[in-house]
Chains A and B, each alone.
Chain A
């Protein structure tokens, strides 16, 4: 008897294609990071708090100006030197950890500059592993501080 070899047709298996597709998509969905989903945390004080609690004389008083400059207590800096905030505040906070820090940004100042200063304070807070007493004054408080500074 003559054996005729069965002719096999070449074929690429496609049954697992769907599985591969799902796997890839699930992988990409899990690894995709949306750029804007992280931010700096800040705890606002309760609204009924006595605004006189923070005395600008005892506090580190940081003012941010529209010109892109800022002052810490009496010394003036450019916003490019924002890293100096870290060292300055660090030196003060090592002595008194509860020292309040007032971040007083001028209404005409850039929001980005204010965040840059706040960032330095938050880095210090993380490095020290404790919350710093950072105050962002309301417009009324700011007017009051400025009166007291003069």
Chain B
């Protein structure tokens, strides 16, 4: 029997798995990246498109839920539960770090206004100027 001549191997880098590696990397980064400082689910009140403006990056957040719990975040760290009386102290510390710090109110449409009112009062006393009421696009638009 005749021995087959050894086939010369061509050098090449396997590229078929490149796509898989790319997807894996991207999924990893997408999961590990924090987009929002707060993930509390609230039913936001609606407002019309004309009046809605983009929230500035690193805005501080105050979250008021339907049940009446209050959370706060300085815009860098994740939000955590706070008492309404502590909002003033917190806001004052934000203002000290950054006097132009914008604050976003993320409150449930069914929340008691009195609670939002207290938050507003504390923010105002702490010297917050730039305020935003987070809303959802109105369905009427």
Residues of A within 8 A of B (CB): 14-15, 17-18, 20-22, 25, 29, 34-47, 64, 105-116, 118-119, 122-123, 125-127, 136, 138-139
Contacts and interface: CB of A to CB of B under 8 A. Distances in A.
Contacts of A21: 19, 22-23, 26
B56 to A, nearest CB: 10
Interface of B: 15-16, 18-19, 21-23, 26, 30, 35-36, 44-48, 50-55, 64, 104-118, 120-121, 123-138
B114 A122 contact: no
A111 B133 CA distance: 11
Contacts of B19: 14, 17-18, 20-21
B112 A108 contact: yes
Nearest to B23: A21
Nearest to A42: B131
Nearest to A119: B47
B124 A45 contact: yes
Given A38-B53, A110-B109, A116-B45, A15 B18 contact: yes
B53 A105 contact: no
A25 B26 contact: yes
Contacts of B30: 29
A73 B53 CA distance: 30
Contacts of B113: 64, 105-111, 113-114
Contacts of A39: 47, 52-53, 55, 104-105, 132-135
A116 B107 CA distance: 13
B129 A40 contact: no
Contacts of B50: 122-123, 126-127
B129 A44 contact: yes
Contacts of B35: 34
Contacts of A36: 36, 44, 106, 134, 136
Contact of B120 (A38, A43, A123, A136): A136
Contact of B133 (A107, A118, A126, A139): A118
